[in-house]
Each structure stands twice: as C-alpha cells, then as structure tokens.
Amino acid sequence: MTGSTDTDGGVVAVRLHSQLESIWGTPGGWARLSAVNHNIVGKRFMVLALTFFSIGGILSMLIRAQLATPDSAFIGPELYNQVFTMHGTVMMFLFAIPMFEGFAIYMLPKMLGARDLAFPRLTAYGFWCYLFGGSILIVAMVLGYAPNSGWFMYTPLSSNVYTPGINSDVWLLGITFVEISAVTAAIEITVTILKMRAPGMSLDRMPLFAWYMLGTSGMMLVGFPPLILGSILLEMERAFDLPYFDPTRGGDPLLWQHLFWLFGHPEVYIIFLPAAGVLSTIIPVFAQRPIIGYRAIVVAIIAMAFLSFGLWVHHMFTVGIPHLALAFFSAASALVTIPTAVQIFAWIATLSYGKPRFEVPMLYVAGFFAVFVLGGLTGVMLAMVPFNTQAHDSYFVVAHLHYVLVGGFVFPMLAGLYYWLPHITGRLSVHRLSIPGFWLIFIGFNLTFFMMHLTGLMGMPRRISTYPSSFGWDWLNLLSSIGGFILTMGFALVLADLVLQTRFGKRQVRDPWDAATLEWATATPPPSYNFASLPHIDRRADQLKPKEAGPALATGAGYLGFSRGRQETLAVDMTTGRVEHLMVLPQRTYLPLLTALVTGVFFLSLLFKVYWLTPFAALAAVAMFCLWPAALGEKKDLGPIDIGNGEAVPSSEETHYNLTVMANITAVIVDATLYGSLLFGALYLLVVAPGWSETLSLAPPSPMLVLALVFSAAGTALAWLARKQTERGRNPMLVQGGACLSQLLAACLLSALAFTIPDLFTHARGAISFAILVYMSLHCAVAALISGHCVWRMRGGYVSARRQTDPRLSVIWQGYALACAVLGLLFVQLLAGVGGLQ
Amino acid sequence: MLGAVTGCAAPLSTLDPAGPRASILANLWWIMFVGAMALFALLMVLLYASHRWQTAMQKLSPGQWIVAGGLLLPLPVLVALTVSALLIGEQFLARPADGSEPTRVIAAAERWQWTFSYPDVPGAATTDNLLHIPAGVPVLVEVVGRDVIHSFWIPRLGGKMDAIPGHTNTTLIEADEPGRYYGVCAEYCGVGHETMRFIVEAHPVDEFAAALGGEEQ
C-alpha cells in the first residue's frame, strides 16, 4: 500500500466509525441503564462477579479466622453456619458462573466475527436479574438473615420445620432469580455460536473457545433445570406445606439430593470447560504454534459434556445406594478422567512442539497444571467408593474441591485476565506487581488447602465451627489459616495490579501477543460494534492474522462495511458457515431493566409472603415481555438485501430457521428438561420414598382431564392449520385466535383439576400430581399467549407467506403444550392408580 | 509413616486404623497416595520437559502424545483402581466368613445426640452418646435419622454411613482390640453439629452383654 491510500483508508475508517458508533453506541448519564451492548453488559457481569468474589473471599477469611485455633469463640455457630453457607453460595452462583458468562458475553462475538450477541436485550435482562438476585442474598446476609443450611441446602434441615424463618427462602428465591441469568445466557450463547459467525467460519473452523462454550452452554441448558425445579418444589413445601421431601408424608429427602447433584455435578464441568477453553486459546499463542489435537479436543469436550451427567451420585456414595448403582457411578466418575487427560496432553504436546515464550499469563497456566492435576488425582481417589466413605464430608473433600475449582477455574481465569485485559483496556500490565502476586497466590493456596487433605484424613468433618484441641488438628488448621491470609494478600496485589493497569498501563497497539484469533482484529479497547465490516474466514479461525485483517476491516473492506442506520449483523448456516441472512438487532432500551424490576417484585412478594401481589407481579412481567417484540419485524417483504462484496441475503424475518425460532426451540429443551426432572421426581417418589404402601387408589380418569386434552389437541391442530394457511398467502387470524382460545380452555380446566386434588397436603402423591397439573396448565397458558401474540402480529401486518416467524412459534409452543398434557395425563393417572404398590 | 507420626495424638484419624475394615481403607489410601504422587511428578516433569527438553519430547509425534497420555496412561490405572475398589466394596457388603450373624446395634441420630440400642442383647438399656460393641467381631450398625440427615462415622473403625429420616442404612464396623474409640456426626445438621460426638467402648466378646447390663443370648 502507498502512503496516500493509507491516508484515504484512515479517513474512510474514521467516517465509518462515527456512523456506526452513532447507531451502536450507548450515551452516558442515565442512558447507561438502557445499555444492551455486549461490550458493556459483559464488562458489567465481570466486574460484578469480581465484587462477589471479594465478598466470598472476605467470608472465607472469617472462616479461617474462626478455625485458626481450637475452641475458638470468634464467631459462634449460628453466624459461622451463615458464613460458610454464603461463602459456597457466593463463590459458586454469584462468582464462578456469572464470571465466565460475562467473559463469554464480551468475547464470543469478537472471536466469532459478529457485532453483538443474538439477543442483546436478553443479555441485559440477565444482568439485572443477576444483580437483583445477588443483592437479595447479600442484603439478607448483612441484616443477619443469610441462608444457613449449607450451599447444597439438604432438606429436611432446610425445611420449614428445622429452619423456620426467612433464611432458606432467601437462598431458594434469590438463587432462582440469579439462575434466570444463567438460563438466558445459555440460550443466547448456544444460538450465537451456532448462527452468528463470520461468513466462511464452518463449525470445524471455529476457534476452540467457541467449541468449549458450545459444550458449556449445552450443559447449562439441561443442567440448571433440575436445580430450578428442586428449588421450586422446596419453596412450595416451605411456603404452602406441600410435602415433596417430607418423609413422614410420602416425600423423600433424597429426591432433593438427586435433583441438586443432577445439577451440581455438571456444574463443576460447566465451570471448568470455559476455563479449559481459555487455556486452549492462550497456550498456542505462547507456544507460538497452532494447537495440537484440535479434533481430539473437540471430541473430549463433547465426551465431558455427556459423561458429566452420569456422575452425580458420586456426591451421594454414603446415602445407602445399592452396590450395583455405586459401581456404575464409580466407573463413570473414573472415566471422565480420560477426556481431561486428552486435553492436558494436547497442551503439553503443543508446548513441546512450539517455542514457548514465558509471560505472566503462562505463569498462571503453570499454576493451573500443578494445582488442577492434584485436584484431579484426589478426584479419582474420591470416585473410589470405599475410600469415599472415609473421605466424604471431611476436610479432604474441602481440599479436593478447592484444588479443582481454584486450579481449574481461578488460575486459568487469571491467566485469561492478564492475557485479555490489554484488549479491554488497551493497555499493558505492570509486571512488578503481577509476578509477586502470582507467587503469593500459589504459595498461599497450597499452604491453605494442601494441609486440609491431611486434616480430613485425620477425621475433621467439614462445617464444624469449633474443635477441641485433643484431636490433633490444631497445627494443620493454623497453617491453613496462615496460608489463607497469604492467598488473600496475593489477590489484593492482583487487584491493585488491575487497577494500576487500567490507569497507568502503557498504551499498546492491536494484538500485543501475536495472537491468531479474530478478537484481536478489533481496535483495543473495542468499539461498540466490534468490526466496522465483517471478515470472510477462509481457514481455521485460530490461524488468522488479526494484525493485517484489522486495519482492512476498519476501512469497510469486509461485509456490511457501511451504515444503513440500523444495527445490522450477519447469520450463517449452522454447519457450513455460508452467509444465510441479515439480522437487524434491537437498539438500547429500558425494557430489560423495567422487566427485571417487575420480576424482582415477583420474587420479593414470594420472599415476604405477600402472596396476593404474586400473580399481579407475574402478569405484569408477562405483559412487559409482550412489549419486547414490538420493536422487531418488518411490515413488508423485503427480498434479498445487499450486504456488500456483491452479495445479497434475505432478512431474518424471511428465513425459515432464524435465530428467534432457534432460541424458542432451545427454550423448549430447557423447559422439557425441567418437566422431565419433575416426572423423574414423581417416579422416584413412587418407587423409593417411604410411606406409599398405605395409599389408596383414586377414582378413574376424570372426564375433565380428557376434555382438557381434547382442547389442547384442538389448539395445536388449529395452530398448525393457521400456519399452513399463512403459507398459502392468507391471513387466518380467526384460526390462530381459535388455537389461542382452545388452549386457554385447556389451561383453565387443568388448573381447576389441580386445585381439587384430595390428598394435596397430606401425601407427596397429591403434591406431585398438583405440580404436574400446574405445569401442564401453565404450558397450555403459554401456548395460548404465544398464539394470541401471533394474532396481534398478524393484525399489525408483520406476518406474510414469507414472514412466518410468529406462526412457527405458535406451532412450536402449542405442540409442546400438547405433548406435556399427554405425558402429564399418563403420570397423573399412574399416580392416582397406585395403592399398596410397594 | 505419616500415620505413625500423627496417629498417637489423633483419636479420629483414618490413618491410624483400629479394625480390619479401617485398615483396608487406610491401605487403599496409601496405595493411591503413592500412585498419585508418581503421576503428579511425571506430569510436572513433562511440563518442564515441554519447555526445556523439546528434542526428547519430540520423539513422540503429536498424535502419539495424545493417545499415550490421554488413553494409554490413565486407562490401565483407572481400570485396576476401579476394579479393586469394587472388590473391596463387595467384601464390605459380605457377611462374616464363618456364616455367623454379626451383632446388631441401632444408631439413632437426633439433633444433637446419638441414641444406641441393642436388639441382640435382651434387657440391654439404650445408651446416649456411648456405643458399646464387642471387640474382634464385626458389628452391623443400623443407622436411622429421626429428624434431619446426620452421618455415623467412627474413622478408626470404618467408613461413614448417612442417617436419613425415612430410610434405614446399614454398615459394618469392627475393632481389633477392646478399648475406647471416638465417633462424630459427619453430615452438617445445624448449630449443634460439632457437638454431636460419641464414644465407642469395645469390650471383650464375653464381657459385652454384661457391660450392657443385659443377659447373654
């Protein structure tokens, strides 16, 4: 390039930048509250997660201060129980998960070559739910009403009988509120990775981090629903005395453990996979060669995602489970080592065949290797059932879980922080603090937690607030406490380093590490729209040259290198990466904040037992959600639209499997997992729970139930017919309206049935039948709502033979409601029919 | 080794077993500990070698590294370990080798105390926070929870078993010698959790019934 075209390019780039910034940017002041851009929301997630990390860290200091000496009277057992419960809860739910969510929200669009995530407003809504839900927990703690039943909330301890008062409700409702953000993030990340990549980026060209996040989000879609269901059931038991877990009325406390660990074990891998994704991204950069074993790693990710759902019982080896089942879960727990080992050796091979360069991020990578490998080895030990009976619930497990989580998450995330912070701030790190910071963390961590292996083997159970001097645990505990304080100093240094870097770090150019992934092709710090034009990817996307691509993209050389006054980005075919359609993303709005506030009123009304308010808050939240689509859609068929480079593609409204349809299918998967967990619970109670042998058979199927089924089926048929007619160019509002009405009738009948169950409060059979009927009724109502909304869209002119998103959604949710109704009917009848079964 | 150093002052140490079951578990631990340390050392050496001894590391091709490290190294270790752990587990389920019925005791957990009863010793009174067992023979403990979940654990005599309301779990313990041992509640059960400890008195078999104030069966 000659000097003059360079200058021309610069002028073009600046003009394009100011045009795009005026569309995508968020102004300051109060308008910040309306931000939906992933750059802003991703950073907010991470800053808030680090804030919660500090709170969790302070709590751990209280724990170590209390346990430093025997017979300590620093904080009594009441307070201690709140402190350790909150430490676990904060670190798991308010730090680890939101931290990687925020990181993925910020980074994924840049790595994939998109301008934002698929549903920017949903990202913002998730953030507000996270902030409000987390605040409920922290405020409760400050006021002295924090949860105190341990972070896995085993019932009956967490039940109304043994923990009266608000403490357990704070956990169940606060965490469920926060989980909304996990589910929305999972849906959004899944759809974004599958559809919103740069043209040419086929699945097998994706950078590994995207594969890791695809595995993670897939696991979140099916991992979180069991916990959410468990929390709903336990809260219903606490609030309305419906016996799901009460062994005196046909419930079973073990059902809670199954539901909790059905979430809880995948959770560990949900936390580890993004961190492993960070490692698979960083290690090749510092080894200065492409990763070795790309395909093997992809297979390992998929294997981990599946295997992790077969391990949950290894948290329950001492609850009295048949030996054969123990054998299965023990073998599965050992087997999950294989995909982990594959990744570790792929990294070692990559380093061996490269030219390793030692920078601060690599220091943390080395720390990861040492700590995580030890945690993995103790994990294999714990998977062995006989040894587990000694180590379970002792400090050995405390040591193991910290080695796995700190080694497998905190060390890689710190490596990632030092690697990507220059991207976020545009500045380089101040080395004089980062290296001593690492050593304090590494030494402090090992001093604290290595001792705990021994403390546990010497018989110290976890969760005790004091111990007598005679058990020989004194020195070990004191050393752990000293280590804990060294660890904290290390984290304080890292924090100081981060602040100094953002203020005084040396400004740096694009791509300071010579990386080969797309996120370094943006300017640093990145503009709100990421890329002034979108690249075409012609090789694996971890072997690019961002230093060269970046300036060219900034001048608008790629796709969409112009502004039409709307937030435009591209969607591709899921597997091949061919450009498929043009998406217009919604602009900033206060709707996510307002909807989250109303959602907060819903949760607070449950927490403070203001139950008359609950249905109004729920309806208000639904009404708010109905306002969201108003900003979207087209009133006429547009045909192919120019996207630059001489290509034209249809709009998303005129595409069959557009992102909205895919997100709804993903939501159905989440929902179906929740329902599946509920039906599993019903079967589990029927087969395992005590107190079912003396129940009597109930009446044969009620005609009302059959009638509800008929209405539901009719609704589904009408929705299907309406879509067919739309396809033929008609506007069948009456048929679609009929689908809505029919499903609404089914919903009413089912809720009437739910509230007339005879043994609702006296036996788990009635309670679980009630839950199934309420679920069926709610989903008929959801289907009615979606069909009704479709009618509204048809009236507004948003639907045509080519723009069929709304009729498609109607068919999806009607069909799902019908499937739930059929399955639910079978289960309710099965439950009613048992009597003297056991 | 370590157990000998720390064991004498540690009445709850799993590394200082006082019965055949706890001994097997302690041996399993030492075997796994040595194996884990060897594997850990191997990985650390490989990590060092990947930076410093690259020509040696490049003797294996990239694919060979993944197969060797990801499959060939862990698979035999895991299979051997899992199978032997399962065999040990089977052994724990089995009744005493001579076909005799073990002595039964019932351990009932309630916030925050243990109540032990002795169905095999007619006339024996229940004891609170004090468990009498005969030494040298296996004892079958039926663990029941009366309110919330607790866990029965005598580290020097055997593994733990949860006391869950609505369920009856069983576990076998055995002390080699008469003497005094200690047990704790291992599952968090509320504010009195750490106070829920109990003493185990192991008596010579022929003095067991007398110690309970009952009559020999």
DSSP letter (8 states) at residue A605: H
Identify the three-state secondary structure at position A656. Answer: coil
Q: Which residue of A has its CA nearest to B46?
A: A348
**Hey, what are A778's tokens?**
């709610």
Gap from B215 CA to chain A (nearest CA, Å):
32
Q: State the average pLDDT for chain A.
A: 93
d(CA B33, CA B29): 6
Nearest to A279 by CA among A112, A408, A425: A408
* A404 at interface of B, judged by CB pairs closer than 8 A: no
d(CA B62, CA A290): 12
- For A505, other C-beta atoms within 10 Å of its C-beta total 18
DSSP letter (8 states) at residue A407: I
pTM above 0.80, yes or no: yes
Residue from A315, A340, A345, A373 to probe the interface with B (highest B Cβ count within 10 Å): A345
Gap from B186 CA to chain A (nearest CA, Å):
5
* B75 at interface of A, judged by CB pairs closer than 8 A: yes
CB atoms A78 and B191 under 8 Å: yes
pLDDT-based confidence at B4, cuts 50/70/90?
very low
- For A833, other C-beta atoms within 10 Å of its C-beta total 13
Residue A532: partners with Cβ closer than 8 Å, 6 or more residues away: A13, A16, A17, A20, A553, A554, A555, A556, A561
d(CA B96, CA B110): 30
What's residue A504's pLDDT?
Answer: 83
Residue A472: partners with Cβ closer than 8 Å, 6 or more residues away: A458, B6, B9, B10, B11, B13
- Is the pLDDT at A838 greater than 50, yes or no? no
What's residue A256's pLDDT?
Answer: 96
Residue pair A271/A405 in contact by the 8 Å Cβ criterion: yes
- Is the pLDDT at A352 greater than 70, yes or no? yes
**Hey, what are B101's tokens?**
């019925």
- Is the pLDDT at B217 greater than 70, yes or no? no
**Hey, what are B147's tokens?**
């309110």
d(CA A534, CA A198): 6
Residue from B27, B44, B164 to probe the interface with A (highest A Cβ count within 10 Å): B164
* B31 at interface of A, judged by CB pairs closer than 8 A: no
CB atoms A472 and B10 under 8 Å: yes
β-partners of residue B133 are B202
**How big, in percent rounded to 5, are the helix, strand and coil portions of chain A?**
70, 5, 25
- Is the pLDDT at B3 greater than 60, yes or no? no
Instruction: Give the angle subtended at the CA of B67 by the CAs of B63 and B72, to the nearest 5°.
Output: 155
d(CA A203, CA A467): 55
Which range, of A223-232, A421-430, A790-799, averages the lowest pLDDT? Answer: A421-430
Amino acid identity at A729: G
pLDDT-based confidence at A545, cuts 50/70/90?
very high
Residue whose pair of structure tokens reads 């969760």 in the numeric block: A463
Q: Which residue of A has its CA nearest to B160?
A: A389
- For A631, other C-beta atoms within 10 Å of its C-beta total 12
Residue whose pair of structure tokens reads 């961002």 in the numeric block: A546
Nearest to A401 by CA among A441, A371, A440: A371
Residue pair A518/A111 in contact by the 8 Å Cβ criterion: yes
Contacts across the A-B interface (CB distance below 8 Å): 252
* A444 at interface of B, judged by CB pairs closer than 8 A: no
Residue A649: partners with Cβ closer than 8 Å, 6 or more residues away: A570, A579, A580, A581, A582, A640, A641, A643
Gap from A82 CA to chain B (nearest CA, Å):
10
**Hey, what are A79's tokens?**
């307070």
Q: Is the peptide bond before A156 cis (omega within 30 degrees of 0)?
A: yes
What's residue A61's pLDDT?
Answer: 96
What are the angstrom distances between the C-alpha of A743 and each of A708, A795, A810?
Answer: 8, 20, 11
CB atoms A338 and B75 under 8 Å: yes
Identify the three-state secondary structure at position B94. Answer: coil
What's residue A685's pLDDT?
Answer: 93
Residue A41: partners with Cβ closer than 8 Å, 6 or more residues away: A35, A102, A105, A120, A123, A124, A127
What are the angstrom distances between the C-alpha of A253 and each of A230, A235, A509, A689, B106?
Answer: 11, 14, 58, 9, 21
Contacts of A390 in chain B (CB under 8 A): 14, 22, 25, 29, 155, 159-160
d(CA A75, CA A83): 10
CB atoms A458 and B185 under 8 Å: no
pLDDT-based confidence at B8, cuts 50/70/90?
low
d(CA A310, CA A308): 5
Residue pair A165/A608 in contact by the 8 Å Cβ criterion: no
pLDDT-based confidence at A699, cuts 50/70/90?
low
Q: Please give the backbone phi and psi of residue A344, each rounded to the nearest 5 degrees, phi first.
A: -60, -40
CA atoms within 13 A on the CB side of B120: 15
Q: Which residue of B has its CA nearest to A374?
A: B40
pLDDT-based confidence at A464, cuts 50/70/90?
very high
d(CA A119, CA B204): 73
Which range, of A229-238, A341-350, B115-124, averages the lowest pLDDT? Answer: B115-124
Q: Which residue of B has its CA nearest to A335?
A: B78
d(CA B90, CA A315): 20
What are the angstrom distances between the C-alpha of A351 and each of A415, A418, B50?
Answer: 16, 19, 5
Amino acid identity at A20: L
What are the angstrom distances between the C-alpha of A725 and each of A582, A716, B22?
Answer: 26, 14, 73
Nearest to A778 by CA among A755, A753, A751, A756: A751
A 239-268 near B (Cβ less than 8 A)? 247-248, 252-254
pLDDT-based confidence at A229, cuts 50/70/90?
very high
Q: Which residue of A has its CA nearest to B168?
A: A320
Q: What is the pLDDT of residues B134-177, one digit of tens each?
A: 999 999 999 999 999 999 999 999 999 999 999 999 999 999 99
d(CA A171, CA B168): 30
A 356-385 near B (Cβ less than 8 A)? 356, 358, 366, 369-370, 373-374, 377-378, 380-381, 383-385
Residue B147: partners with Cβ closer than 8 Å, 6 or more residues away: A156, A161, A162, B110, B111, B165
Helices within B14-145 (DSSP H only): 20-52, 54-57, 62-67, 74-93
Gap from A108 CA to chain B (nearest CA, Å):
28
**Mean pLDDT, to the nearest integer, of A595-616?**
97
* Highest mean pLDDT of the ranges A320-334, A434-448, B3-17, B92-106: A434-448
* B24 at interface of A, judged by CB pairs closer than 8 A: yes
* B110 at interface of A, judged by CB pairs closer than 8 A: no
Nearest to A708 by CA among A633, A758, A641, A783: A783
β-partners of residue A584 are A568
The ipTM estimated for the assembled molecules is 0.95
Nearest-by-Cβ selection for B161 from A163, A318, A338: A318
Identify the three-state secondary structure at position A479. Answer: helix
Instruction: Give the angle subtended at the CA of A511 by the CAs of A204 and A438, to the nearest 5°.
Output: 95
**Hey, what are A532's tokens?**
């002034």
CB atoms B69 and A345 under 8 Å: yes
**Hey, what are B155's tokens?**
């580290």
**Mean pLDDT, to the nearest integer, of A436-453?**
96
Nearest to A361 by CA among A438, A440, A273: A438
**Mean pLDDT, to the nearest integer, of A608-623?**
96
Contacts of B78 in chain A (CB under 8 A): 334-335, 337-338, 380
* B140 at interface of A, judged by CB pairs closer than 8 A: no
Residue pair A747/A780 in contact by the 8 Å Cβ criterion: yes
Nearest to A154 by CA among A456, A389, A463, A381: A463
**Mean pLDDT, to the nearest integer, of B37-50?**
96
Helices within B73-211 (DSSP H only): 74-93, 205-211
- Is the pLDDT at A23 greater than 70, yes or no? yes
Nearest to B18 by CA among B170, B184, B174: B174
* A295 at interface of B, judged by CB pairs closer than 8 A: no
B 162-181 near A (Cβ less than 8 A)? 162, 164-167, 169-170
What's residue B100's pLDDT?
Answer: 76
* A325 at interface of B, judged by CB pairs closer than 8 A: no
Identify the three-state secondary structure at position B180. Answer: strand
A 451-470 near B (Cβ less than 8 A)? 454, 457-467, 470
DSSP class per residue in A491-509: HHHHHHHHHHHHHHPPB--
Instruction: Give the H/E segment covering residue B139.
Output: strand B139-145
DSSP letter (8 states) at residue A226: H
CB atoms A293 and B66 under 8 Å: yes
**Mean pLDDT, to the nearest integer, of A668-685?**
96
Identify the three-state secondary structure at position A118. Answer: coil
CB atoms A381 and B29 under 8 Å: yes
Gap from A157 CA to chain B (nearest CA, Å):
5
